[in-house]
Amino acid sequence: MKRKQKKVLIRIILSAAMLVPLKIFAPEEEWFAALLFAVPYLVIGYDVIFKAVRNIAHGQVFDENFLMFIATVGAFATGEYTEAAAVMLFYQIGELFQSVAVGRSRKSISELMDIRPDHANIEREGIIVEADPEEIAVGDTIIIKPGERIPLDGVVLEGESSVDTSALTGESLPKTVRPGDDVFSGCIDQTGLLRVRVTKPYGESTVARILDLVENAASKKAASENFITRFARVYTPAVCFAALALAVIPPIFAGGWMTWLHRALIFLVISCPCALVISVPLSFFGGIGGASRRGILVKGSSYLETLARTDTVVMDKTGTLTKGVFNVTAVHPERISEGELLELAAYAESYSSHPIAGSILDACNTEPDRRRITSNEEISGMGVHAVIDGREVFAGNDKLMDSIGVKWHPCHHVGTTVHIAVDGEYAGHLVISDELKETSAQAVRDLKAAGVSRTVMLTGDTKAVGEDTAGKLGIDEVYTELLPAGKVEKVEELIRTKPEDKALVFVGDGINDAPVLSRADVGIAMGAMGSDAAIEAADIVLMNDDPAKLAEAISLSRRTLRIVYENIAFALGVKGLVLVLGALGFASMWAAVFADVGVAVIAILNAMRTLRAGPAGS
């Protein structure tokens, strides 16, 4: 509990300690009783009175401070001293409870902020010194000791260690890193000393981007939050004028001015919108915080709300449902050896960032001498064209061969085929087979169990490869041989055919799926740890590459929305009922206290369930 909260708690205890004996031994003299009850009232309510007067002076009249000020002062004026002090006391108890609840919710986010590194160890003139991570340049070598948090993204030069990635991925199983492996800021080096070459400045590192994403999540409000904000602006002045009408109009015809004034004051206490104004944003804030602890980063509550309406899930294949680690086999080389075929393909693909290109380079086992490459051009959706040692080389799919007029041989193996043509003659092809992730099939089953009615896979691969993968996973529809623009067109077509009140989610690896991620109702990037493109383009980022997180994210969003709607219905229902009863004289000031403070406390308790980030049915 913070210092300010402790002070409020002390005031609550003091006020209650004075109020209880006063209630029992209240003097009969009205003026003396008013004077005595004013002491606990001012002890607990002086800040509310001050805020109300200050806001009125600044033209900001209609808020909860104004409502409580008018209601309690009015209660004093009508001789209801106990009720006036008690209402203010219970209001402050509710405010303290609310403050603690918000603090707990913020703590779930601030725990993520602990991934911010304090310093980086850099070797200068043979001595290891501590430096600000923001002062470290790309290319510098940093030393990470066991137990330290990795301060910057980089690649391991020396050493071997187990790295705890749970702060980013939500997964407790450590990852072993060796020379040549990438490491990411925010993770913890557990066992060994590592020498790491920095590959990104701090401002572009994984930890900096994640912190920026979480800190700015509140700026993208859900429709429910915006509704509550607009509702409160209209609701508060409306109930103030309704209370004024209740105090003035009935007595004109029926008399009993004090009775109707008392009812109007009760009406004002009941009408405080605290339960709605706090519990709805708190529910979303808790949902985002709970998700972040599981490695699911949501850029704003608007995306959490949209995700809850998911009906169609469209997935990329490579790197999303498959590992993106390929086995490369040379098949039927013609005119040249198998080794030369693989070498020419590796040189042609050496400038490409596509995962398949990386696999061909890995299969070649040698670092290409780029001085042998005179020119290199990537042909979108088809392959590459390069001049190597003076020979013109084309490497790509069937369409590329057709476009240059080279007769190619069909491949009878399941996998992605990369044809190679040298100086206008067919030289053979490579078969690249990808491996499914262990959790992909279960992820598809979980999505259907979560109520997703349509699963779709998009891929640039051949029809045979795409249909084989979709069949193994149980995916409803598959569209193959798509260029990047074709994926966008297909997503737009699927959006047009889905139910109007439902959402389409696209899931990609974030590297080359940015256009589709942006076009979908919700774009989710998988395996995004260290991927700038994923964090920039996606609305939701899954920090590891586990497809099982998809159904978990959808279930969490639906659970959060259900809690939001429960709070809205409960708060409006109880307040509406007690408002009517208060206006008719059947609700006392104590009922008004419950309708305000009691409803707020119950709604906040319900909202805090989102922090647990449990399954949808919990």
Residues involved in catalysis: 316
Contacts of 15 (CB under 8 A, 6+ apart): 40, 41, 43, 44, 85, 89, 92
Contact 181, 156 (CB under 8 A): yes
Q: At what angle do helices 223-254 and 64-77 cross, to 10 degrees?
A: 20
Residues contacting residue 446 through CB under 8 Å, at least 6 positions apart = 548, 550, 551, 552
Taking alpha carbons only, the member of 65, 54, 39, 46 closest to residue 274 is 65
Q: Which amino acid, one-letter code, is at 33?
A: A
Amino acid at 59: G
State how far the alpha carbon of 303 is from the alpha carbons of 298, 547, 560, in Å.
7, 19, 12
Distance in angstroms (rounded) separating the CA atoms of residues 229 and 284: 14
Strands ordered across the beta sheet of 383-388: 322-331, 425-436, 416-422, 391-396, 383-388, 373-379
Report phi then psi at 333, rounded to 5.
-65, 140
Of 274, 302, 267, 309, which Cα lies nearest the Cα of 288?
302
Secondary structure tally for the chain: helices H, strands E: 21, 22
**HEC string of 280-341?**
HHHHHHHHHHHHHCCCEEECCHHHHHHHCCEEEEEEECCCCCEEEEEEEEEECCCCCCHHHH
Taking alpha carbons only, the member of 129, 170, 121 closest to residue 147 is: 121
CB 262 within 8 A of CB 78: yes
**168/179 Cα distance (integer angstroms):** 22
Whole-number Å distance between alpha carbons of 126 and 132: 19
Biggest CA-to-CA distance, the chain: 115
Point out which residues pair with 322 in neighbouring strands: 436
Q: Amino acid letter at 243? A: A
Q: Are 456 and 507 in contact (CB under 8 A)?
A: no
The phi and psi torsions of 188 (rounded to 5 degrees) equal -115, 125
